[in-house]
Chain A
Amino acid sequence: MSEANPNRCEGGADRSGTDPVVRVEDLVVEFSTEKGRIRAVDGISFSVMPGEPVGIVGESGCGKTVTALSVLKLIPSPPGRIARGQVFLDGKDVVPLGEREMRRLRGNVASMIFQEPMTALNPVFTIGGQMTEILRIHRRMSRREAREHSIEMLHTVNIESPAKRFTQYPHELSGGMRQRVMIAMALSCDPKLLLADEPSTALDVTVQAQVMEEIRRLQEERRMSMILITHDLGVIAETCRRVIVMYCGKIVEVSDTSGLFAHPRHPYTSGLLASIPKVREKKIERLPTIKGMVPDLADLPKGCRFADRCPKATARCRENEPGLVEVSPGQQVACFYPD
């Protein structure tokens, strides 16, 4: 499908190579709030290779979404700003770039899909009107070309009678269908990177599975890099090759997916895995939880941010903050006492 398409964007030409599509270096994102300046993301570094699906997991407010938004420089500003660090998107640092240059990258080199499909489409325009807009901006297609390409994209994401859907308004489509339209829109310029921010959370469970299956298939077919943000470890297990676990704006563990599930190194990751209900469990037990509360970002503890909730915390943990170190091939962890 995409290979046969003569109208590929410049962004979509090169899928091989070993340079990362995204490389984040020591990123700090600050928000000014009533309680003062808080760091939603505090000095994280990671990279995503071409064609690689990477998952970011963590609780609400741990900085997952902010990380994804900063890749496209979509942090609402004010109150937010990138205070430090670099974000290389396709080899180019986007932090110093202006709005106009960013616009050329957004939707073209990297696209983003959001959580809430019900409000993700403009209610006063038809599906077609919204899909063709992007193609006309990035590819300067004619109305007819854009229409044909959009219908083809709707077909690609398995929407039935795409030509009819093209002329319909968002309120005439179901949630799952709208999310498919969003995916079609995000992929219509054949980006190198897809940022998916909890794309299935707001959908019914059965529809969730279908939509995730769709995303997985398209990611593989197009050999596209992906950053999948979720708090659903099951989705990560099925979709991603590598997982980044975030806690309170910091990366606490980076691991291969198989390694993470087989042998979690950070106590927080172990806690997350333990709190997944197990269907085959014979004994009916109370589901394990991680004790305590996520600390307030405006009032963080001195040492390790997880120390207050950690079963293994010692005086050292409360005094010093552990850095991210490689404990085994493909597994990095920020803990003094990794499992």
Chain B
Amino acid sequence: MVEGAAEQPVANVIPAPDTSHYRSESLWTKSIRKFARDPMGIAALVIVSVFFVIACGVWAGWIGQNWSALQADGYTGMSREHWFGTNINGQDIYARTIQGTKTAFEVGLIVAILSTVIGGILGAVAGYFDRTIVDEVIMWLYGCLDAIPFYLFVAAVAFALRDQPYAMHVAMIATFWSSTCRIVRGEVIKIKSLEYVQAAKALGVGSMTIIFRHVIPNTFHILLVQGTIAFVSAIKSEVILTYLGLGVKHGVSWGTMLSESTFEVSAGIFNNFVAASSFLFLLVIAFNLFADALQDALDPKKVTAS
């Protein structure tokens, strides 16, 4: 050891710090690290993932396939064959709840993705070209749509597109994009005055390239959070609309089950009601907590102790 130390050259120059272990970190990986430290967020994410796995299982055809088969008698209690019992027609409530998860995810994902994409793009374009005719038209459009009460609008669209399986989706997308659009527009008006947008312009980058490469990626944190909010709203609205008879017609949803249960609860049969509402409650609350945690993790101004 002593010999080794003697061989060292006299250190009159400060050695360069070893940076080989240092890896470049994007804002995204930073956010993921921040998210991983939030126990609430992780718990919520686990619950949402379980629901998602169930929905995938249904899509793949592994579980909840015999939801419409008429078995046994109606209103049997919980048993080994029928975990949650059966409904008035003798259909398995467990299978119907599982199938309802798929319906919920289907509506939630389609509406969340499309409304966020539409809202994001229109919002970015409106914000980037603010105070021009393009902006005026987009603002007028969402102003008009926002002025119509949501359920009235959905009823109108559902009526206009009756017999179309996607009437409900269309109605929801047509209304949900506007809030994303408004928020993104405001953010883009801020972003476009930042110097990296000015610099991109000064270096000859085209407007559309600036919008899609420089502006929209900087609104991803908003889009992600807006997407999760749209997802939750879509699931809730789907259940409510189906309950009102405006939503899912060919298939089963938690809304169908709640609608059936209106007659049953007064008769003291709670199977449909408890199964559907507890699944809905758990998914919605978990997703809301997840969205909250996501928002915190993506907000660079909110610094948590590391």
Report which A residues bind B (CB closer than 8 A).
72, 74, 78-79, 99-100, 102-108, 111-116, 119-126, 130, 133-134, 137-138, 164, 167-169, 171-172, 182, 185-186, 195
A122 touches B196 (CB 8 A): yes
Task: Name the residue of chain B whose CB is nearest to the CB of A129.
Answer: B213
Segment at the A interface, from B20-28, B176-184, B260-268, B276-284: B20-28
Alpha-carbon separation in the docked complex, A104 to B205 (Å): 9
A110: nearest residue on chain B (CB-CB)? B202
Taking a contact as CB atoms under 8 Å apart, the answer to whether A169 and B25 are in contact is: yes
Chain A residues, Cβ within 8 Å of B27:
123-124, 169, 171
A–B Cβ pairs within 8 angstroms, 13 of them: A74-B198, A74-B201, A103-B204, A107-B203, A111-B203, A112-B203, A119-B194, A119-B196, A124-B26, A164-B19, A169-B27, A172-B25, A182-B199
Known: A116-B195, A122-B218, A123-B218. A74 touches B25 (CB 8 A): no
Residue of B nearest to A120 (CB): B195
Asked if residues A133 and B196 are in contact (CB atoms below 8 Å), the reply is no
Q: By CB atoms of chain A within 10 A, which of B19, B195, B217 has the most?
A: B195
Name the B residues within 8 Å of A126 (CB-CB).
24, 26
By the criterion CB–CB under 8 Å, are B24 and A120 in contact?
no
Among B19, B195, B199, the most chain A Cβ lie within 10 Å of the Cβ of B199
- Nearest 5 interchain pairs by C-beta: A107-B203, A106-B204, A107-B204, A112-B202, A120-B195
Q: Beyond A74-B198, A119-B194, A168-B24, is A138–B132 a contact (Cβ under 8 Å)? A: no
A171 to B28, alpha carbons, bound, how many Å? 12
Interface-centre pick from B25, B201, B203, B214 (highest chain A CB count, 10 A): B203
Q: Which of B60-85 contact A (CB under 8 A)?
A: none
- Which A residues lie within 8 Å of B205 (CB)? 103, 107, 133-134, 137
Contact (Cβ within 8 A) B132 A78: yes
Q: Give the distance in Å from the alpha carbon of A99 to the alpha carbon of B208 in the complex.
A: 12
Q: How close is A30's CB to chain B, nearest CB, in angstroms? A: 16
B206 sits at the interface (CB 8 A): yes
- The listed residue with most A CB atoms (<10 A of its CB), out of B27, B131, B204, B213, is B204
B175 within 8 A of A: no
Residues in B whose Cβ lies below 8 Å from that of A113: 199
Interface string of B48-59 (1 = CB under 8 A from A): 000000000000
Contact in complex: B24, A169 (CB < 8 Å): yes
Taking CB atoms, residues of chain B closer than 8 Å to A99 are: 206-207
Nearest to A78 among chain B residues (CB) is B131
Min Cβ gap A130→B in Å is 8
| Residues of chain A lying within 8 A (CB to CB) of residue B214 | 122, 125
Q: A74-B198, A126-B24 are in contact. Are A185 and B203 (CB under 8 A)?
A: yes
> What are the residues of chain A within 8 A of B198 when measuring CB–CB?
74, 114, 120
